[in-house]
Each structure stands twice: as structure tokens, then as C-alpha cells.
């Protein structure tokens, strides 16, 4: 139980943030927030010895058991690794934010509420075994990231970036939900673990590939894969702590996690292998190529993140081939899953440190424009050192952890060219070629980031602020991450045995049963291999192209500005939606409530009546019906006459009296049918309503002559008749076709024995429909608080503004 509750600790802590911010103004709110991720990373670290042996830990909290929906915290090698990244890097980001965000200027309570909300969302995503709760947490990441990206809401670019990320990721999430629903129908369960066990049977289902594609669309949008990557660069308008957390270590890795988690289910499909590996490799190349074009430090890192995510995604796609081969190649493709997880850890360390350095440069110089930067090495030596370590690791150079996983990546790509299934003998040769070219551009943008910023001639006149080294507190987090970059290079097998191998078992459970079977040893030297020569080629070609960057960087200007994915997005969201869809909507959005009701009632009537007859649902049977008495016929005539009089009366007083007569007649029906409580309620309401109408209408002017004649309107008559016919047909059909027993007898039998009440109506409202009543009371309470708040509002003395 506590394991499940730990997921919600951050969002529960967020409830207290406004109080801390309001009461403790002398201390930065971040110090209180820091306790949460520190506690979580300590808690999850206690599971490492158990999980590293191949065990799993499961805790469950039922939510909607009747539908099979529960909060299930499932900790295995994969989910524990992500939980440690989320909480561990979360702690470093919070520490960094304490020195980055000025408590006298920023609305820190908002910032940390959003951050803690996001932390809960990510923990829920990576630990959920139930697909419905996974989806709920998934969308909570989109909502919280929207708030974080748009934190500086007074900036147009922040709002634009937040909206763009939300439209794309939420759209993908809804498609993903469709895939989840299809999977649950095929496997008759929402449990991912149970679906994995049924994988061979699921693969034969006709809707298997459809579910696969829908889930991949959700993963690709969240992890910024081509062509959905366009939201990530615009999200860089968020504060740097947000970029370091969301866009290097957590949110963008959610799609990676989803692909890794569902690989055991979908790996048997050729479509999965091609889409994951192919789109990943295309994203790797696309991101690395366009990273060199950027002039904003965070823009460079944004495109580099896109490319690195593509690298990991391609490795996961290649790892799925292990389900289709045996022998020597089997080991090579299992190696790809290991490389994907290892690079995921490495990327979190070096990219997190680089984002923080970009924030430091912006914080201390007042700009992120690389054209204005240069020569900062002497003024910011520690920042330069951290940037150098992170950039060299990203470029895949020793002695840094990125070199080790990059070599594994090249090994996996070379193995694809030799694979003889799924037409890889034809197209597989492109994999190592594209991987090598993308790695060259990765080398270039890594050098471009660090050397154009910290070396060369300093341009003090172009900088808004006089540069200097960042405060010690701001440097602690990037220094820790940079230290891990170096440490992992020298102790890779400690990391592999503890974290990577258990995660590989989770990705490939049909191939491994425990981490000890993952017989992979990481080393920096493998002899004179093709990978080594590819690396040497990357370094040589990358250095040459970097040295002559000014001569060929202009090729980016040749790309038509109008033929971009961003322009396509702008056209769909703004041009098409605002211009054409608004023009269409204005034809029926007239501002007339009567018109809107006419559209809705007509549509409902057509759909319901049409369904009744198309599906042969209309039946008429008076079997078991009560006899109609003369007194009831008389009351019906009074109702009809009263209703017609209300509509056509030329005096408001006459209309009110007629309307009251209709209400009192209905109450008489309740008396006839032995419902005195309802009759009394109806009488009270009608009396009050009539009195209020008379009081209000007494002060209104008399009808004008033009208004005295109520003209017949065919359209309104049609709507009224259609709704009346619909209700009548549905009532007759419902009475005539009873496929299940009426619940009325159950109420009669249990109202006293189970609910302990004598009044059946009251018991139904309070006990059997207790949640209904609770929600109604809640609505009234919220309305009451809103009214109270409006009463308490006072106009300010300045300008009469609220």
C-alpha cells in the first residue's frame, strides 16, 4: 500500500506549497520541496538489491474493481530505473532551481506545484501495470508539462510552446488510449503483465497491428520522434530547470519507456520492428542534422535531445529482432536492448548537465544566442569544464560514458545489415550508413555547443550582462552529473549489473528470466573492430566539418522556409482552424440559445428515432400496464390545455397562471400514484416559482402590439413534435422490452433490511444513489464558496480595478 502511496507523495506535498510560500517568505520554497525527491530516491534505492537479482515488487490499491481498474505499482528493473531517474534527477533539478529562480521575483509556489504534479505523473506512468491508470498519469504529464512550459505566461513564446506541446502530446495520448482499449478487448484484461503472457495469441488477432500503431503514435508524440518532434524546440521557452528535468531525463523518456514496456507484446510483429527502428533512425539523423543550424543554446540541446531519443528508439526497435532469430545473431540483437538502456542512463547524465550549463550561461550573461557568445572559458572555468565533459560524452568520445553506449549502438546497427528477415537484406544496409552520418553531425553539434560558447574572442559589448562564474549552489547539480559521466566510464559494469541488466530482463522476458543470464560485459577496448574504425571516421570527418563550419552552414538557408513541419502545424492549427473552421462555425454559432437548443434537440431526436427503427428497437406492448382512469384522462387534458395556454397567451399573468396549473396538475399525478413526498415537493416548488415569476414579471413592461400575436413557426413546431415523438417512442419501447428485471423489487426488499430506512424515496437518494447526492452537495458547496468569494471582493483604490 505504501508503495502505491509514494507515487502520490509529490502531488500531496504540492497542496502545501501555497502555505509555505505565504508563511515562510525568508526561505526559498525549493528547500521544502527538495525533501520530497530526496525521500523518494532513498525509498526506491532500498529496492535496488532485490530488483538487481531479478525480483519484482507489486503493490495494489483498488480503484474501480468492478471494471478491473486499480492503481498497481509494479517495480521491476525497468520501472525502478526510471523511478530512480525521476526522483534522483528531480532532486538535482530542485536544488539547481533554488539558485536559478529568484524567490523575490518568481511565483515559486506555482512552479513547484507544477513540478511536483509532474513528478507524480511520471512515477505513475513508469510504475502502472494497469493501462487505464497508465493513461491517466500519461495525460497528467501533458497537463503538468503544459503548465511548466507556460510558466512564464506573460511571454507569447511560452504560451505558444505550451499549447503546441499539449496539442501534439495529448492528441497522441488519445490515440494511445484507443490502442489500450483494443489490447484490453483482445486480452480481456487491462494488466500489462497479463497481456505479455498472452503475446503469441494476441499477435494472431486482426486488430493487433492497429493497436500497435495507435500505441506507437502515443509514444512517438511524447518522445518527440519524427515528424512529431516540432513541439520540443518550442518547449525550450520554459525555465531551464524545467528543460533539464522534462526534456532530458523524464517526460521525453516516457515514450521510450512505453516502447520498452510493450516490446514483449509487439516484438513478434514485423511492423513493430520496422516502425520503431526506422522512425528512430530517421529521427536520429534529422535531429542531429538540424541541431547544427540552431543559434540558441537550448535550441541546439533541443534538437540534440531529439536525435538522442531517436538513437535510443532505434536500438529498442533493433532489439525486437532478437525475438525472431537464434544463435550468434540472437546475442547481437539482445545487445541492442542493453545498449538502449545504458545510453538512456548516460543521456540523462550528460544532457541534464548541459541543460543546466545552458541555463547558467543565460543567467550570467543575459543571452543564449551563440552568435553573441564566446571566450567565456576564462571567466567561467567550472562551467566550461562541465560543458566540455557533457559535450564530449554526447559526441561519443572517451573517457566518458557516451563513448561506451555509442560503440554498442554502432555494433547493433552493423548487425542489422546482416539480418535476413523482413527485407533487411535490402534496406538494412542503410542502417549503419545513416547511423554513421548522424553520429558525424552529433560530433559537430557537440563541439559547436561547447567551443563556440567558451572559446574564441569574448564579445562583452554584445552581452546584456557582464559574465562571471555562477554561484556555487547553481554549480552543484551539473558538477554531480558531470562526475557521473566520468565515473560510469570507469565502472560501467557496476552500473550494468545493478541497473541495466534487470531492465533488459523486463524488456525481453521471453529471452531472459534473471539478470545473470544477460551475459554482456562492457569495456572500452574491443580491439580493431569495424566500430572502432567507424568512430575514427566520425572524429576525423567531424573535426574537418567543424573547422569549416562557416563555409557549409549556409546550406540550411537553401531549405524552403514554407516547406517545414512547423509551417504545416501553423497552417492546421491557425490558418485552417481559425479561418476556415471559424467561418463554418459562424454559420450556426449565432449566439442564440434557442437556436443551439433547436440544433441539439433535433439532432438527438433524429439519432434516437433513427436508431430505434434501424436497429428494430421499437416495440409496443401494453402487457402489465395499469388501466387508465377517467380522472387521469381529465388531468391529461388539463395539462395539454395549460401547456398550450402558456405558449399562446397574450398576457404574462395568464402565462404564469397556466404554467402553475401545469405544475399543480403534475403534483396531482404524484398523489394518484402514491408518491406523497414527490407531490409535496412539487407543490412547494410550484408555489415558490409562481410567486417569484409574478413578482418579477409585475415590473416588466406590457407586451407591445407586435408581440401580442404569437406567430406560428414551422421550425419550432417541428422540433417540439420531434422531441415529443422521441420521448413517447422511447417510453413505449422501454416499457415493452424488459430484458432484465426491474430494480424496483430490489429496492422494496432491501430498503429496510440493508439501508435501515422506511421511506423508499429518501433511502434511494441518500444510500443507493449516495454518490449522486454527494456530487450535488459538492456542486452547491462550490457555488456557495464562489458566491462568498464574490461578496468578499473589494475594489482596489487604484483605478477601480479588482
Residue 284 lies in a domain: yes
Q: Where are the alpha helices (DSSP H) in 589-675?
A: 593-614, 630-648, 652-672
Pairing of strands 57-64, 69-75: antiparallel
Residue 694 lies in a domain: no
Q: Cα dihedral sign for 321, 344, 395, 145?
A: positive
| Residue that has been written with the C-alpha cell 512550459 in this structure | 149
Q: Give the domain extent around 200.
A: 2-547
Mark the ranges of the chain whose per-residue pLDDT is less than 70. Answer: 25, 326-332, 419-426, 702-712, 794-802
How many CB atoms within 10 Å of residue 513? 10
On whether the CB atoms of residues 265 and 321 are closer than 8 A, the answer is: no
Measure the CA–CA gap between 121 and 251, rounded to whole angstroms. 9
On whether the CB atoms of residues 33 and 112 are closer than 8 A, the answer is: yes
Question: Model pTM?
Answer: 0.82
Split into its structural domains, the chain has a count of: 1
436 contacts: CB under 8 Å, gap ≥ 6 = 410, 534, 537, 538
Measure the CA–CA gap between 276 and 225, rounded to whole angstroms. 10
Q: Which of 571, 590, 587 is nearest to 579 (CA)?
A: 571
Residue 22 lies in a domain: yes
On whether the CB atoms of residues 127 and 79 are closer than 8 A, the answer is: yes
Residue 413 lies in a domain: yes
Residue 249 lies in a domain: yes
What is the per-residue pLDDT for 337? 93
Beta-bridge partners for 369 = 296
Locate 361 and state its grid cell: 550561461
What is the per-residue pLDDT for 561? 75
Helix/strand/coil for 15 = coil
Locate 687 and state its grid cell: 408555489
Measure the CA–CA gap between 141 and 169, rounded to whole angstroms. 9
What is the per-residue pLDDT for 713? 77
Q: Which of 287, 280, 240 is nearest to 263 (CA)?
A: 280
Residue 643 lies in a domain: no
What is the per-residue pLDDT for 705? 56
Measure the CA–CA gap between 537 and 179, rounded to whole angstroms. 43
Measure the CA–CA gap between 545 and 443, rounded to whole angstroms. 10
Measure the CA–CA gap between 5 and 753, rounded to whole angstroms. 37
The conformational region for residue 784 under phi > 0 = left, psi -120 to 50 = alpha, else beta, is alpha
Residue 741 lies in a domain: no
The helix-helix angle for 35-45 and 77-100 (nearest 10°) equals: 160
| Buried-exposed string 666-680: b where 16+ CB fall within 10 A, e elsewhere | bbbbbeeeebeebbe
What is the per-residue pLDDT for 125? 96
Beta-bridge partners for 62 = 70
Cα–Cα separations (whole angstroms), residue 186 to 181, 191, 204, 652: 9, 12, 10, 61
Measure the CA–CA gap between 363 and 468, rounded to whole angstroms. 10
Locate 569 and state its grid cell: 502545424
Measure the CA–CA gap between 246 and 100, rounded to whole angstroms. 16
- Using only C-alpha atoms, what is the Rg of the chain? 33
On whether the CB atoms of residues 150 and 97 are closer than 8 A, the answer is: no
Please report which helix (H) or strand (E) contains residue 63, including its range: strand 57-64
**DSSP notation for 127-171:** HB-BHHHHHHHHHHHHHHHHHHHTSSTTSHHHHHHHHHHHHHHHH
Helices (H) and strands (E) in the chain, counts: 38, 2
What is the per-residue pLDDT for 802? 45
Cα–Cα separations (whole angstroms), residue 66 to 69, 70, 284, 747: 8, 10, 44, 21
On whether the CB atoms of residues 40 and 82 are closer than 8 A, the answer is: no
What is the per-residue pLDDT for 711? 65
Measure the CA–CA gap between 31 and 29, rounded to whole angstroms. 5
Q: Cα dihedral sign for 403, 406, 412, 413?
A: negative
On whether the CB atoms of residues 515 and 493 are closer than 8 A, the answer is: no
369 contacts: CB under 8 Å, gap ≥ 6 = 295, 296
On whether the CB atoms of residues 680 and 690 are closer than 8 A, the answer is: no
Residue 340 lies in a domain: yes
Amino acid at each position: 500500500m505504501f508503495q502505491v502511496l509514494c507515487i502520490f507523495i509529490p502531488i500531496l506535498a504540492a497542496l502545501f506549497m501555497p502555505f509555505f510560500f505565504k508563511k515562510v517568505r525568508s526561505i526559498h520554497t525549493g528547500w521544502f520541496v527538495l525533501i520530497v525527491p530526496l525521500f523518494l530516491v532513498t525509498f526506491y534505492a532500498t529496492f535496488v538489491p532485490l530488483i538487481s537479482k531479478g525480483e519484482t515488487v507489486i503493490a495494489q490499491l483498488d480503484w474501480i474493481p468492478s471494471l478491473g481498474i486499480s492503481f498497481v505499482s509494479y517495480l521491476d528493473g525497468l520501472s525502478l530505473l526510471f523511478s530512480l531517474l525521476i526522483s534522483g534527477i528531480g532532486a538535482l533539478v530542485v536544488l539547481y532551481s533554488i539558485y536559478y529562480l529568484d524567490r523575490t521575483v518568481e511565483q515559486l509556489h506555482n512552479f513547484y506545484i507544477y513540478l511536483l504534479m509532474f513528478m507524480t505523473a511520471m512515477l505513475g506512468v513508469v510504475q502502472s501495470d494497469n493501462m487505464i491508470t497508465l493513461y491517466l498519469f500519461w495525460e497528467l504529464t501533458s497537463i503538468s508539462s503544459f503548465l511548466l512550459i507556460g510558466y512564464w505566461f506573460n511571454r507569447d513564446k511560452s504560451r505558444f510552446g505550451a499549447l503546441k506541446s499539449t496539442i501534439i502530446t495529448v492528441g497522441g495520448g488519445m490515440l494511445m488510449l484507443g490502442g489500450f482499449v483494443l489490447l484490453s478487448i483482445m486480452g480481456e484484461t487491462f494488466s500489462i503483465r497479463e497481456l505479455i503472457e498472452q503475446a503469441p495469441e494476441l499477435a494472431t488477432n486482426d486488430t493487433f497491428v492497429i493497436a500497435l500503431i495507435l500505441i506507437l503514435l502515443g509514444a512517438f508524440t511524447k518522445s518527440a520522434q519524427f515528424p512529431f518532434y516540432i513541439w520540443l524546440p518550442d518547449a525550450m521557452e520554459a525555465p531551464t530547470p524545467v528543460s533539464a528535468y522534462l526534456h532530458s531525463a523524464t517526460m521525453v523518456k516516457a515514450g521510450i519507456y512505453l516502447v520498452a514496456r510493450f516490446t514483449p507484446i509487439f516484438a513478434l510483429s514485423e511492423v513493430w520492428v520496422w516502425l520503431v527502428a526506422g522512425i528512430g533512425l530517421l529521427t536520429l539523423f534529422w535531429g542531429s542534422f538540424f541541431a547544427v543550424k540552431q543559434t540558441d543554446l537550448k535550441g541546439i540541446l533541443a534538437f540534440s535531445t531529439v536525435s538522442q531519443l531517436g538513437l535510443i528508439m532505434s536500438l529498442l526497435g533493433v532489439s525486437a529482432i532478437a525475438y525472431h532469430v537464434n544463435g550468434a545473431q540472437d546475442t547481437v540483437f539482445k545487445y541492442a536492448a542493453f545498449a538502449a538502456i545504458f545510453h538512456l542512463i548516460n543521456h540523462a547524465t550528460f544532457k541534464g548537465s548541459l541543460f543546466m550549463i545552458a541555463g547558467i550561461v543565460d543567467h550570467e550573461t543575459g543571452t543564449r544566442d551563440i552568435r553573441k557568445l564566446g571566450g567565456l572559458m576564462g571567466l567561467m572555468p567550472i562551467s566550461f569544464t562541465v560543458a566540455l565533459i557533457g559535450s564530449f560524452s554526447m559526441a561519443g568520445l572517451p573517457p566518458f560514458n557516451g563513448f561506451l553506449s555509442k560503440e554498442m549502438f554502432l555494433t547493433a546497427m552493423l548487425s542489422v545489415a546482416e539480418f535476413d528477415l523482413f527485407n533487411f537484406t535490402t534496406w538494412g544496409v542503410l542502417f549503419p550508413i545513416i547511423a554513421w552520418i548522424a553520429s558525424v553531425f552529433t560530433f559537430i553539434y557537440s563541439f559547436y555547443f561547447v567551443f563556440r560558447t567558451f572559446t574564441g574572442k569574448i564579445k562583452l559589448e554584445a552581452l546584456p550582462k557582464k559574465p562571471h562564474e555562477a554561484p556555487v549552489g547553481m554549480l552543484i547539480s551539473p558538477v554531480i552529473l558531470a562526475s557521473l559521466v566520468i565515473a560510469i566510464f570507469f565502472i560501467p559494469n557496476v552500473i550494468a549489473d545493478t541497473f541495466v541488466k534487470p531492465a533488459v530482463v523486463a524488456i525481453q522476458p521471453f529471452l531472459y528470466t534473471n539478470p545473470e543470464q544477460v551475459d554482456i560485459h562492457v569495456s572500452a577496448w574491443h580491439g580493431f573492430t569495424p566500430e572502432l574504425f567507424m568512430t575514427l571516421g566520425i572524429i576525423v570527418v567531424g573535426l574537418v566539418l567543424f573547422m569549416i563550419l562557416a563555409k557549409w552552414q549556409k546550406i540550411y538557408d537553401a531549405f524552403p522556409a514554407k516547406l517545414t513541419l512547423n509551417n504545416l502545424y501553423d497552417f492546421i492549427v491557425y490558418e485552417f482552424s481559425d479561418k476556415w473552421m471559424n467561418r463554418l462555425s459562424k454559420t450556426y454559432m449565432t449566439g442564440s440559445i434557442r437556436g443551439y437548443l433547436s440544433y441539439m434537440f433535433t439532432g438527438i431526436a433524429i439519432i434516437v428515432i433513427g436508431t430505434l427503427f434501424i436497429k428494430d428497437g421499437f416495440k409496443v406492448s401494453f402487457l402489465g400496464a395499469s388501466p387508465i382512469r377517467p380522472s387521469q384522462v381529465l388531468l391529461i387534458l388539463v395539462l395539454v390545455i395549460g401547456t398550450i395556454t402558456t405558449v399562446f397567451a397574450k398576457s404574462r399573468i395568464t402565462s404564469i397562471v397556466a404554467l402553475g396549473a401545469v405544475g399543480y396538475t403534475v403534483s396531482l399525478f404524484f398523489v394518484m400514484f402514491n408518491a406523497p413526498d414527490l407531490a409535496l415537493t412539487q407543490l412547494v416548488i410550484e408555489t415558490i416559482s409562481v410567486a417569484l415569476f409574478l413578482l418579477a414579471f409585475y415590473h416588466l413592461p406590457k407586451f407591445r402590439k407586435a408581440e401580442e400575436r404569437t406567430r406560428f413557426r414551422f421550425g419550432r413546431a417541428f422540433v417540439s413534435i420531434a422531441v415529443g415523438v422521441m420521448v413517447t417512442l422511447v417510453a413505449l419501447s422501454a416499457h415493452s422490452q424488459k430484458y432484465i428485471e426491474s430494480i424496483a423489487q430490489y429496492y422494496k426488499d432491501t430498503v429496510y433490511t440493508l439501508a435501515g430506512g422506511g421511506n423508499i424515496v429518501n433511502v434511494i437518494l441518500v444510500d443507493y444513489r449516495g454518490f449522486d447526492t454527494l456530487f450535488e452537495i459538492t456542486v452547491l458547496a462550490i457555488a456557495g464558496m464562489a458566491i462568498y468569494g464574490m461578496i468578499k471582493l473589494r475594489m482596489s483604490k487604484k483605478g477601480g480595478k479588482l
